[in-house]
Chains A and B, each alone.
Chain A
Amino acid sequence: MNKATLAYIVSAATLLVAVWLGVSIGTVKIPISTFWDSSDTTASNILWKIRMPRVILAGLVGAALAISGAAFQGLLKNPLADPYTLGVSSGASVGAVVTLFFGLSIPILGTYTLPVFSMTAATLTMFLVIGFARLVDRSMKMETIILTGIIFGSFLGSVLSLMIALTGEELRQIIGWLLGSVSMRGWTYIVMVLPFVVIGSFILWMNRRELNAMLFGEERAHHLGVNVKRRKFMILIGGSILTGSAVAVSGTIGFVGLVVPHMTRLMWGSDHRHLLTLSFMNGASLLIICDLIARTIISPSELPVGVITAFIGAPVFAYIFYRQRRKGAM
């Protein structure tokens, strides 16, 4: 069996196990049989109305962040890049925090005012960032993109800080949202985020070979026949769609987008033809597991999942990093 096939099998198995654990563990244990046997209505309700949407949302958000992180790291040739590098997430956060800060609620949208506002803000930020980067430098060099992201990200970050500073009572709600959570969102959120995840991931996947070529630099990619400008644009749009939608439904969950691609690379290599899909699967698994821990570790209270991702993810990453480097040194 070749390495790629093994990678897919391992990742898919991990994802299945994560889903199984995610739906069955909790204050009420749900047996696996509930999937096909709906005689126990309480169990069935908990599974389909609460656990399942939560697991799927966690999976989608984790997948979106991980695949866009992998693409941004490849595109920017920078191991420190993550989905938040571009500043789009800060835009999404500002949209959400503004909604919370002013207590906005559009009648037709109701409770979905926040994600819709957040996504709109993310889209707006994306066009501003890419537009400004193009204005500065028509060929949109990697450094230009990174610096533009830093400019917009830190500006929007200070807007966030300003709002937090001015908030009295609602501070907890805003901080809680910013730390990220996938709890109590329900199927509607999944319906809302799913098209963006599908479209964004598909755009990135279409550029898997181009990302491989761009690892050798833009000039090299150009020589190999890649239409660098157009492909770069596509990858930025695709990654931004994923990041913006993920942040809009779950807040800024850190670590997944930065580290899952690295872990995947260390284990299976940096060929984007596989890296993108594998990061997608592993990101989903990681966030499902982290969310499981977030809601069970101090049960009956819950922690924001963003607290857990780094708490669990960093030691795991440290272990893989250590093992790989030692193996390389020997």
Chain B
Amino acid sequence: MLQVDNLTGGYAKEPIVKDISFDVNKGEILGILGPNGSGKSTLLKLISGILPKQKGTVKIDGEDAALYSQKQFAKKVAVLPQLHAHAFSHTVKDTVALGRYPHQTGLFSSWSEEDERAVSEAMNYTGVTRYKDQAIELLSGGEQQRVFVAQALAQDAPILLLDEPTNHLDIAHQQQLLDTIRNHAVEKGVTVVSVFHDVNLASLYCDRLLLMEKGEISIIGDPQEVIREATIGNVYKARVKTQPHPELPKPQMTLLPHKIEESNPFTVNKEHFTVTAERVSLQVNQPLKTLSSAVVNAGLGWYRAFVNRHVDENYNCDDVKAEMSAYLEQHGYSLTDTVGMMTAVTTEHAEIDEYEGDFGTVLVMVTAGVGNAVDVSQAVTREQRVGTINTWVIVNGELPEEAFIQAMITATEAKTKALQTENVQDPLTGTIATGTSTDSLLVAATQEGEHLPYAGPITPLGKLIGHGVYDCTIRAIRAYKKAKGWTS
């Protein structure tokens, strides 16, 4: 649809855009990214003909755009500029109607039904019909930008060029605007080329991305290929981390601010734990990066308070999460800052210990009750009940995400081994149990101090976790058995 070959040009003799070539297919959305001064806006201006090109061609449907008159070009390509101010007032409808300029010919050029239809359709599509008789300068920035989108759509051009269209818009208006444009591209097969300032927005809305660096193409491809830590970090000269989007297969990036190195890294120790008849809690001053299967605030996050609450054996509630949240709030815990688990085991039997390695220490907390033990390999048809082995592993060190997962594997294996050692059996099958039906596990790390890349049993950290969890679980099972009066 749009084909750019060896495009070179800029403002003065020295070209800003150097020898750029790419194709955009019909209905595709191509995002142009790049740091300030990389030439992304210049590239768009060269394509739209605002700046004269020094070399190269721009082809539309295989035809050289340089042969078009200004009006013919405007019938093929509509441009949406950044939001800016204007001197005299126009009504919304008159503004949108200007989009029909290239379709009007002759001295008198009467307004046709086709013009009227295109204008009202564009106004409906962008939701500005209700303002149609208002002066445009009385609208808010977001509404004004929608009017200009309507103007560009009224042009009925198969190609739409956008220059940072979401500048100065708040997030709701950004989303609205880009949703509108993407839907238009999908429904009408309009080809879109847009300059983006925001890497994440570009990733969300574009089929392909073109990353520019010093007037040249650094890389062009799918968002997955372009938005990579090394690429973005190099081109933008910024420390970034990429993450998957929670709903779409589109990568997102976050900036990593420069860290101030602490001479004394923050550490967690046994004194931070409090055990009462009602709960085991851990409270620290700095948030810990946490991965857990808790009731409240499960998953990955940063938290400062951790609660393992004792509930009655017959505790039964339709909405466990809501009830647990209410409990936490009632006891003065902030819901945004607390991970909450529950157990039927007497919390005073919790086993808490600190294990020391060369890099620092690991803390383990286990509450275990095995009355509900299960052999997982045979647990297909079993009824679920309140979990009874809750394990926390707190690491004084800095862990990447994969180490969190390895820590969880290691901790689970250690727990299973402890059950085996203690000969805990699944009462139904008579085989050795591997856990209980709703065990919970939490791994948290201070993310300060030594960098610990792995947590499998081959590493010092893995060994410590394995040993600690095994040790605490055995002690917790024994305490449980003793309390129940089962003498082993």
Q: Please report A residues at the B interface, Cβ cutoff 8 Å.
A: 73-74, 77-79, 206, 209, 212-213, 215-217, 219-220, 222-228, 265, 269-271
- Given the interface contacts A209-B101, A209-B104, A216-B98, does A226 sit within 8 Å of B70 by beta carbon? yes
A108–B362 alpha-carbon span in the complex (Å): 112
Query: Which B residues touch A79, using CB under 8 A?
Result: 87-88
A74 and B88 contacting across the interface, CB-CB below 8 Å: yes
A225 and B73 contacting across the interface, CB-CB below 8 Å: yes
Query: Which B residues touch A209, using CB under 8 A?
Result: 98, 101, 104, 109
Q: A270 contacts which of B72, B75, B89 (Cβ < 8 Å)?
A: B89
- Please name the 3 residue pairs, one residue from A and one from B, whose CB atoms are nearest each other, closest first: A225-B74, A225-B102, A223-B79
B88 and A225 contacting across the interface, CB-CB below 8 Å: no
B88 and A215 contacting across the interface, CB-CB below 8 Å: yes
A243–B366 alpha-carbon span in the complex (Å): 93
Query: Which A residues touch B87, using CB under 8 A?
Result: 77-79, 215
Chain B residues 96 to 114 lying within 8 A of chain A, measured CB to CB, are 98-99, 101-102, 104, 107, 109
B91 and A225 contacting across the interface, CB-CB below 8 Å: no
B interface, size bucket: 20 to 34
Q: A224 contacts which of B91, B99, B109 (Cβ < 8 Å)?
A: B99
B98 and A222 contacting across the interface, CB-CB below 8 Å: no
Query: Which A residues touch B88, using CB under 8 A?
Result: 73-74, 77, 79, 215, 265, 270
Looking at the assembled complex, report how far the CB atom of A30 sits from the nearest CB atom of chain B, in whole angstroms.
39
Query: Which B residues touch A223, using CB under 8 A?
Result: 48, 50, 74, 78-79, 81
Inter-chain residue pair count (beta carbon < 8 A): 71
Among B87, B107, B109, chain A packs the most CB atoms within 10 A around the CB of: B87
- Given the interface contacts A223-B78, A224-B99, does A215 sit within 8 Å of B69 by beta carbon? no
Among A79, A206, A217, chain B packs the most CB atoms within 10 A around the CB of: A217
Among A79, A222, A223, A265, chain B packs the most CB atoms within 10 A around the CB of: A223
A220 and B101 contacting across the interface, CB-CB below 8 Å: no
Looking at the assembled complex, report how far the CB atom of A73 sits from the nearest CB atom of chain B, in whole angstroms.
8
Looking at the assembled complex, report how far the CB atom of A119 sits from the nearest CB atom of chain B, in whole angstroms.
27
Query: Which B residues touch A74, using CB under 8 A?
Result: 88
A209–B50 alpha-carbon span in the complex (Å): 20
A215 and B90 contacting across the interface, CB-CB below 8 Å: yes
Query: Which A residues touch B13, using CB under 8 A?
Result: none
A225–B155 alpha-carbon span in the complex (Å): 10
Question: Which residue on chain A has the smallest CB distance to residue B71?
Answer: A225
Looking at the assembled complex, report how far the CB atom of A25 sits from the nearest CB atom of chain B, in whole angstroms.
36
A79–B107 alpha-carbon span in the complex (Å): 28
Looking at the assembled complex, report how far the CB atom of B143 sits from the nearest CB atom of chain A, in whole angstroms.
16
Q: B90 contacts which of A212, A217, A222 (Cβ < 8 Å)?
A: A212
A219 and B91 contacting across the interface, CB-CB below 8 Å: no
Q: Please report B residues at the A interface, Cβ cutoff 8 Å.
A: 48-50, 69-75, 78-79, 81, 84, 86-91, 94-95, 98-99, 101-102, 104, 107, 109, 151, 155
22 A-B pairs whose Cβ atoms sit less than 8 Å apart in the complex: A73-B88, A79-B87, A79-B88, A209-B104, A212-B98, A213-B101, A215-B87, A215-B88, A215-B90, A217-B84, A220-B81, A222-B49, A223-B78, A224-B74, A224-B98, A224-B101, A225-B71, A225-B73, A225-B101, A225-B155, A226-B101, A270-B90
- Given the interface contacts A206-B107, A226-B70, A271-B90, does A219 sit within 8 Å of B50 by beta carbon? yes
A271 and B94 contacting across the interface, CB-CB below 8 Å: yes
Looking at the assembled complex, report how far the CB atom of B462 sits from the nearest CB atom of chain A, in whole angstroms.
61
Q: A222 contacts which of B70, B75, B107, B151 (Cβ < 8 Å)?
A: B70
Looking at the assembled complex, report how far the CB atom of B278 sits from the nearest CB atom of chain A, in whole angstroms.
63
Query: Which A residues touch B81, using CB under 8 A?
Result: 217, 219-220, 223
A222–B50 alpha-carbon span in the complex (Å): 7
Looking at the assembled complex, report how far the CB atom of B211 sits from the nearest CB atom of chain A, in whole angstroms.
25
A271–B94 alpha-carbon span in the complex (Å): 8
Looking at the assembled complex, report how far the CB atom of A136 sits from the nearest CB atom of chain B, in whole angstroms.
16
Question: Which residue on chain B has the smallest CB distance to residue A216?
Answer: B86
A213–B81 alpha-carbon span in the complex (Å): 14
Query: Which A residues touch B107, using CB under 8 A?
Result: 206
Looking at the assembled complex, report how far the CB atom of A218 sits from the nearest CB atom of chain B, in whole angstroms.
9
Question: Which residue on chain B has the smallest CB distance to residue A225?
Answer: B74
A212 and B94 contacting across the interface, CB-CB below 8 Å: yes
A143–B109 alpha-carbon span in the complex (Å): 31
Question: Which residue on chain A has the smallest CB distance to residue B75?
Answer: A225
Question: Which residue on chain B has the smallest CB distance to residue A228?
Answer: B70
A129–B155 alpha-carbon span in the complex (Å): 36
Query: Which A residues touch B78, using CB under 8 A?
Result: 223
A91–B323 alpha-carbon span in the complex (Å): 88
Query: Which A residues touch B95, using CB under 8 A?
Result: 216
Taking A217-B84, A223-B81 as given, write out 16 further A-B residue pairs in contact, using a Cβ cutoff of 8 Å, ordered by the A residue number: A77-B88, A78-B87, A79-B87, A206-B107, A209-B104, A212-B98, A213-B101, A222-B48, A225-B70, A225-B71, A225-B72, A225-B74, A225-B155, A227-B69, A270-B88, A271-B94
Looking at the assembled complex, report how far the CB atom of B345 sits from the nearest CB atom of chain A, in whole angstroms.
70
Query: Which B residues touch A219, using CB under 8 A?
Result: 50, 81
Query: Which A residues touch B50, using CB under 8 A?
Result: 219, 222-223
A251–B301 alpha-carbon span in the complex (Å): 80
Query: Which B residues touch A227, using CB under 8 A?
Result: 69-71
Query: Which A residues touch B86, using CB under 8 A?
Result: 77, 215-217
A226–B102 alpha-carbon span in the complex (Å): 8
A214–B130 alpha-carbon span in the complex (Å): 25
